[in-house]
């Protein structure tokens, strides 16, 4: 399974199957049900940490297909769960369809995007998502969930809560615009565009700027094992933020989009605890970005889990702030 997870962990599964159609998926689920096997649904393995060998059936989703339905200048794009997310972004930009450019170069598959409500540089998936087609793992019936029914939050959704392990995402439908609706709310993005010498900003230039930032700051999982951000940015009450800001003037906080408080930069908190370049075994904090834990070669699952736990403990002791893991631990 080493090549099937971007952390590069050497783990095994009792059974593994890649499915290319809904029928194959149904057969795989029935195989597991008949044998009372646990199942784990996996896309590109870019947001999962295996804690040990898996005793059941891992189902790799390889459903393919992208369809565009035009409505004047706008369009509805339906993409199958097994499509690569960044390739979908490029596909849409090549057809002058905008809304995904701030989400460029996020690793993983289309099917994983709603689970996390992926977001970057001021944009979240929920802003363009119409609905999600899923397969109920009990009834093996298909149904559509609207954006509201997905109960999106910061890096979470109904697929992490009440529908966890109860459905498989088959495809998503997105409403995109033929007009560039630019989101340059992140100062880092604006500075990157200036450094690129871009005067007439459009969706393509924003996508290019996001790619430049991510390539510079985040290690390529094809070269260095990682799952991107290992921790979510924590959300604290306005009162706690005020006290922390008083104690630590360098702390940066932004209002949470869900109106639940103030979101802090987890990377800053980790940096203040002096974790950069440190690690456990062959698991280490990246020197590029403190939210990224990397595999220096032969890291074991326990190395990553111990390192993450120690980071969480140090941040809790220093700031009284809880860091939550972003990837799924299986």
Whether 326 is a known active-site residue: answer yes
- pLDDT tens digit sequence for 17-58: 999 999 999 999 999 999 999 999 999 999 999 999 999 999
Residues 6+ apart with CB under 8 A from 235: 154, 256, 260, 261, 262, 263, 264
Q: What is the pLDDT of residue 3?
A: 81
Task: Name the catalytic one among 155, 157, 214, 286.
Answer: 155
Q: Which fold has domain 66-176?
A: 3.30.465
Q: Which stretches of the chain are assigned E, i.e. beta strand?
A: 13-19, 39-42, 48-49, 54-61, 66-71, 74-80, 119-120, 123-124, 129-136, 142-146, 167-176, 235-236, 253-255, 262-264, 279-280, 283-285, 293-295, 328-329
Q: What pLDDT does residue 259 have?
A: 66
Q: Which alpha helices (DSSP H) does 186-300 contain, by range?
A: 187-195, 203-217, 238-247, 266-272
**151-160, 243-252, 255-264, 266-275: lowest mean pLDDT where?**
255-264
Mean pLDDT over residues 303-307, rounded? 97
Instruction: Find, among 191, 192, 225, 315, the residue nearest to 265 by Cα.
Output: 315
Task: Could you please state the CATH topology (level 3) that the domain comprising 2-61 is classified under.
Answer: 3.30.43
155 catalytic? Reply is: yes
Q: Where are the domains of the chain?
A: 2-61, 66-176, 235-329
Q: Is 149 a catalytic residue?
A: no
| Residue range 109-135: mean pLDDT, rounded | 96
Residue 220 CA to residue 204 CA, distance in Å, equals: 22
Please list the residues that pair with 77 across neighbouring strands: 68, 174
Per DSSP, the three-state class of 327 is: coil
Q: 255-270, pLDDT tens digit by residue?
A: 876 667 999 999 999 9
Catalytic residue among 46, 229, 286, 290: 229
CATH class of 235-329: alpha beta
Distance CA 132, CA 151 (A): 12
0.85 cut: is pTM over it? yes
């Amino acid at each position: 399974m080493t090549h099937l997870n971007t952390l590069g962990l050497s783990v095994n599964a009792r059974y593994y199957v890649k499915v290319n159609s809904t029928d194959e998926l149904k057969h795989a689920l029935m195989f597991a049900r008949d044998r009372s096997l646990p199942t784990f649904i996996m896309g590109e393995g870019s947001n999962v940490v295996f804690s040990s060998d898996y005793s059941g059936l891992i189902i790799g989703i390889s459903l393919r297909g992208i369809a565009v339905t035009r409505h004047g200048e706008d369009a509805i794009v339906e993409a199958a769960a097994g499509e690569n997310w960044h390739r979908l972004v490029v596909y849409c930009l090549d057809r002058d369809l905008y809304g995904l450019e701030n989400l460029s170069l996020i690793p993983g598959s289309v099917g994983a995007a709603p689970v996390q409500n992926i977001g970057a540089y001021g944009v979240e998936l929920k802003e363009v998502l119409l609905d999600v087609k899923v397969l109920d793992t009990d009834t093996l019936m298909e149904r559509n969930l609207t954006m509201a029914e997905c109960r999106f939050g910061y890096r979470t959704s109904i697929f992490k809560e009440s529908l966890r392990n109860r459905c498989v995402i088959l495809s998503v439908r997105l409403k995109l615009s033929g007009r560039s609706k630019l989101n340059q709310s992140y100062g880092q993005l604006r500075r990157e565009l200036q450094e690129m010498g871009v005067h007439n900003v459009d969706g393509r230039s924003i996508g290019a700027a996001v790619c430049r930032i991510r390539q510079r700051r985040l290690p390529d999982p094809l070269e260095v094992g990682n799952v991107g951000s290992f921790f979510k940015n924590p959300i604290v009450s306005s009162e706690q933020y005020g006290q922390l800001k008083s104690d630590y003037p360098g702390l940066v906080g932004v209002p949470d989009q869900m109106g639940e408080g103030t979101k802090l930069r987890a990377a800053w908190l980790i940096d203040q605890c002096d974790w950069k370049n440190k690690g456990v075994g062959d698991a280490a904090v990246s020197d590029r970005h403190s939210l990224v834990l990397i595999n220096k070669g032969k890291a074991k699952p326990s190395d990553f889990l111990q390192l993450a736990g120690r980071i969480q403990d140090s941040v809790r002791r220093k700031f009284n702030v809880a860091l939550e893991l972003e990837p799924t631990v299986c």
